[in-house]
Chain A
Amino acid sequence: GAVVSQHPSRVICKSGTSVKIECRSLDFQATTMFWYRQFPKQSLMLMATSNEGSKATYEQGVEKDKFLINHASLTLSTLTVTSAHPEDSSFYICSAERTGTGELFFGEGSRLTVL
């Protein structure tokens, strides 16, 4: 099956610092990747859609200057949480769509804790 690798799986940082999370499709090309935030016992909340070679599309209420997304290649998208604050602590998950199929595969998730 298709594999999506997400790193780091856990990160603890101090308030005010920036954290970068990587999402890689290991064995398929992904023109489109998605970033989600998930609170305990809740559904996946789509934050943004990342398209290779173009600017990400952010969902309403998601600050694009706060959550920087870069999709520089067909296999890599990154999410940078800038000037992190404790309220940014959450579980962040990426997914990658196998180009042209609509099939979605998820990364392992990254648990961010901001002290």
Chain B
Amino acid sequence: GENVEQHPSTLSVQEGDSAVIKCTYSDSASNYFPWYKQELGKRPQLIIDIRSNVGEKKDQRIAVTLNKTAKHFSLHITETQPEDSAVYFCAASDNYGQNFVFGPGTRLSVLP
């Protein structure tokens, strides 16, 4: 089955700096890669996603890149703000959602 690894497990950055979180997956059949942000005690919220027919996607300060050959995808947050502090989860899935697997999460702290 699918296995998703995520690094780093914790990340601290100064406000205004960039943050990068990387995930790797094992199943070449996976073709959908979402990222979720979870604030303390709240539900995970989808912040950006990418499908395997695209190499990069950007939404304001957030971008995701995908390397299908290497089976890894990364989340990039630029100009970080304190409200970006949260736990971020990557995931890998196929179109049918039957192999939806989460990474272990990265706790991001943006220091003022």
> Chain A interface (Cβ within 8 Å of chain B)?
1, 6, 32, 34, 41-44, 46, 49, 91, 93, 95, 97, 100-109, 111
Contacts and interface: CB of A to CB of B under 8 A. Distances in A.
A107 B89 contact: no
Which 10 A-B residue pairings sit nearest by Cβ, starting from the closest? A97-B97, A106-B43, A102-B32, A102-B93, A102-B97, A43-B105, A43-B104, A102-B95, A106-B44, A108-B43
Interface of B: 31-32, 34, 36, 41-46, 49, 89, 91, 93-98, 100, 102-105, 107
Contact of B98 (A32, A43, A91, A95): A32
Given A43-B89, A43-B105, A102 B94 contact: yes
Given A43-B89, A44-B44, A109-B43, A102 B102 contact: no
Nearest to A91: B41
A44 B102 contact: yes
Given A102-B32, A104-B34, A44 B89 contact: yes
A93 B45 CA distance: 12
Contacts of B105: 42-43
Nearest to A94: B43
Contacts of A108: 42-43
